[in-house]
Amino acid sequence: MSEVRDDRKYTETHEWILDNGDGTFTMGVTDHAQALLGDMVFVELPGEGDEASQEDEFCVVESVKAASGVYAPADLEVVEANEALDAEPELVNSSCYDDGWLVKFKADGIDGLMSAEDYTDTLD
């Protein structure tokens, strides 16, 4: 039922990560996660230049139902946060893979990610 895109990789905690090919990565939550959380009402994002260590909670997405932490998938430095989400957190629901992205960051590489196929298998 949930959409999973082949062009990116996935975490066990339902985030997607797109390798931009220039040492930066874009991250967001998956279609499965946004559907589970329900209507988003608030997204707390880090600032440009902020650093996070692997497993740090560096974003929070809050829906009508619950607050959910987003964890750094590697040691990273934030390049850009999606400021559009300040005014329109619902973009995470309506466009989780495009306009509803959360952050872009620099990292040396990311271990332990799943392919689209493997991630799809975890959703059953």
Partner 1 sequence: MKRTPLYQAHVDAQGKMVDFGGWEMPLNYGSQIQEHHQVRTDAGMFDVSHMTTVDFKGKQAKVFLQTLIANDVDKLKTPGKALYSCMLNETGGVVDDLIVYYIDDENYRMVINAGTTEKDIAWINAQAQGFDVSVEPKLDLAMIAVQGPNAREKVFAAMPGVEEVAGELKPFNAASLGGLFIARTGYTGEDGFEIMIPEKSAEFTWKMLLEADVKPCGLGARDTLRLEAGMSLYGSEMNDEVSPLEAALTWTVDLNNEDRQFVGREALEKLRDDGVKKTIVGLILEGKGVIRDHQKVVTALGEGEVTSGTFSPTMGKAIALASVPMGTTGSCEIEMRNKLVSAKIVKPPFVRNGKVLV
- In the complex, the residues that contact partner 1 under the rule CB under 8 A are 38-39, 41-42, 44, 60, 62, 64-67, 90, 93
Distance CA 123, CA 67 (A): 21
What the block records as the tokens of 100 is 């509803």
Distance CA 97, CA 120 (A): 15
CB of 97 to partner 1, least distance (A): 18
What distance lies between CA 98 and its chain's CA centroid? Answer: 11
Task: Look at the block and give the residue holding tokens 């039922």.
Answer: 1
Nearer to partner 1, 77 or 88 (CB): 88
CB of 71 to partner 1, least distance (A): 14
Nearer to partner 1, 41 or 123 (CB): 41
Nearer to partner 1, 65 or 115 (CB): 65
